[in-house]
Amino acid sequence: METERRYWVNAPFGISDFFDTEDFEVEEDARRKLKHIDAELESAGFFFGDTCWVHKTWNKEEAIEMANAAKEIWKEWSEDEADTVSITAQPICPKCGGLGRFSDEYCSKCGTKLLPKAELNIDTGKVIPIE
């Protein structure tokens, strides 16, 4: 039986106000397009994470659907950026079901070794452990 996981769909930023500085030079048309990408990702259900746009879900099919939506949004601008969209499966405890941080090796609730962080292949739907 496959253990239920929480999936994090990760998509790159376009250009947020955080990066909208004189040090980050982008032509005005490109700047508008990148801000539009950010707005599209937000309206699709992503939130602004520390390093990328994120959508969290317990549903594998939803994660794949959201990853494909993010890829389509990015393909209008950059195939390379579209290819960076990924899905990460959060570490989880096989004993108590507790969720770990991505850096955790053991469950903070019961001490059991966590199932490792993994990636979900967007094309096949297979969970692949990250070593």
Secondary structure percentages of the chain, helix, strand, coil, to 5: 30, 20, 50
pLDDT tens string for the chain (131 positions)?
Answer: 355 789 999 999 876 555 555 666 667 787 788 888 889 999 999 998 888 899 999 999 999 999 999 999 999 888 888 999 999 998 889 899 888 888 899 999 999 999 888 999 999 999 898 87
Burial 56-74 (b: 16+ CB within 10 A, else e): bbeebeebbebbebbbebb
In a domain, 111, yes or no: yes
Q: Model-level pTM?
A: 0.81
Q: Which residue segment(s) compose the domain that 24 sits in?
A: 7-129
Provide the domain count of the chain: 1
Helices assigned H by DSSP within 1-131: 28-44, 60-75, 79-82
In a domain, 1, yes or no: no
In a domain, 79, yes or no: yes
Cα dihedral 55/93/2/54 (nearest 10):
10
Q: Which pair of structure tokens corresponds to residue 130?
A: 């990250």
DSSP class of residue 107 equals: -
In a domain, 40, yes or no: yes
